Structure 1
Amino acid sequence: MSDFPNEAQKQAYLSRTKEKLMKPVMNAVDLLVREQLKPESITDEEAIELFGIQEAIEEHQARGKNHPYKSFSEFVNQGGE
């Protein structure tokens, strides 16, 4: 039995949840892209956040890839193909 009285409420809840979960990912992607394309637009606070993101990426790459997807650096080096 569902906790939602109708499908529209369920879909609205799922949509809000996806948006909330994707926000940090989209912020990280935005910073990484801006760093490559327009680094002067990054504030000091964003630079600190970007440093943490880059550290996490480096740690992940140091452990080795265990999935079929390209790493961010591979994606950038291949021109996003």
Structure 2
Amino acid sequence: MGKKVIDAKQDGKGNITAVKLSGNSSFTPVETAMGMADKGQIDNAHTVRPKNGTKAHLRTNPDNRKGNNLDEMAKD
């Protein structure tokens, strides 16, 4: 069983820069978390790589709940 994203940080432009994973006391850079998600080490998130060449990003898995989306986590 992998870790879960439980919190997020954003920069001044609203871009997610780091996430906190269950069992960790500090935040993990989003680039590191994307690698972990690709390896199946994060249960509730995945990496999105748009075909048009725009930058890849981390996204929580869909579940019809707004509160566990990274943008919502970063607001608190």
TM > 0.5 = no
Q: Which one has a bigger Cα radius of gyration?
A: 1
Structure-1-length-normalised TM-score = 0.28
Structure-2-length-normalised TM-score = 0.29
Q: Choose between structure 1 and 2: higher helix proportion.
A: 1
